[in-house]
Amino acid sequence: MILRLLTFPFRYTFGKLKKVVGKLDKIKIEPLYAFGNEDCIYVKGRVIEAYKQSKPSHKKNSLQNIVAALRRYAGSSVPDAKVEVTYFGQKKALYSDEEGIISCEFHTVCQETSEVHRVRFSLVEEEGLVSEKSMSSLKVQQFSKNHPIGVISDIDDTVLISHATDIGKKLWLSVSKNAFTRRPFPGVSGFYRELTENGKHPIFYVSSSDWNLYDLIKDFLAFRKIPAGPILLQDLHLSLKNIWKSGGGSHQHKLEKIKMLLDMYPGMRFFLIGDSGQHDPELYGEVIREYPERIKSVYIRKVSDGKEEGRTKLIEELKKIGESPQMVFVKNTQEAIKHAKQHEFIPS
């Protein structure tokens, strides 16, 4: 029934579809992240069609949330849009790709990471004029390369209950709930606040979800008072026809992004947090082998998927690595908190 509902609009032309889901003939820039170290700032944004999207609410029913999901996936990305990105007087002109994505790097002008700076985005009109109506900005999250502690966390079934190993349940949650009605795992907010010392240490979210879910994830973290940080999602072309693929794939991009963070902050030691349902133990195991002294601890929430025996062998292999951390499999966040207190990662 859900798949039939999602594919139904494709019987119409794209123009009619846009009318059905309330699209407007305007475009806007959605800033995604701006973060880096003393030397370099990485910036990413997305050009999308502006549309009337109501704010998430506990009062929204399943049908209203399904309509919101249709809006989110109904061809909102705008390719070939010219965007001017500005940081500390440095300007770059970019064109959005087929997903509407723009990305670039800037040399850091100010070495003081405690100062607050912003990256500004503007659409450039055909005449070469910058459109003031389309301007948006994003705070730069800048951390020292030698900052001592960082956290890298998966999202689906680690922070956000997603049932990622059950396509039916996963799809229903994706379209029938919103940022206020999706549920976190109990205790995650407090645990992450303890690990980051209430924002003193950075946290990065790395997920196989696609950029169409960025606003939902950002609003979810804010509503549930889970520490904010750069959200690194997957560049993957998804639409109503293949929405069920969101969060899937080889997950290789997660490994690439984690390695990028480790290289960007060479003096930082990380906590890695994930679940056993979508290859996190194997990915994190590879990270430990390549960066054996850079990982403080790994917390994996156990999901019954029939691969437990193989992962027991993985843990035994990791124990042989010089100063490898413990890869801790936990039933819930409370067990992770208990372990972190025992090892004085967080106060007792």
Three-class SS state of 122: strand
Question: What is the predicted pLDDT for the residue at 129?
Answer: 59
Rounded distance between C-alpha atoms, residue 191 and residue 153, angstroms: 12
Q: Would the pTM of this model clear 0.75, i.e. be above it?
A: yes
pLDDT at 118: 92
What the block records as the tokens of 72 is 């989110």
Local confidence band at 55 (pLDDT 50, 70, 90 cut-offs): low
Give the number of other Cβ atoms within 10 Å of residue 291's Cβ. 16
In this predicted structure, what is the pLDDT of residue 311?
67
Q: How confident is the model at residue 9 (pLDDT cuts 50, 70, 90)?
A: very low
Can you tell me the mean pLDDT for 249-257? 78
Is residue 153 scored above 60 in pLDDT? yes
Which has more confidence, 12 or 311? 311
* Average pLDDT over the chain, rounded to an integer: 78
pLDDT in tens, 173-205: 555 455 667 788 999 999 999 999 999 999 999
Q: What is the pLDDT of residue 120?
A: 95
Q: Report how far residue 216's alpha carbon sits from residue 213's, in angstroms, rounded to the nearest whole number.
A: 5
pLDDT digits (tens, 9 = 90+) for 285-299: 899 989 988 999 999
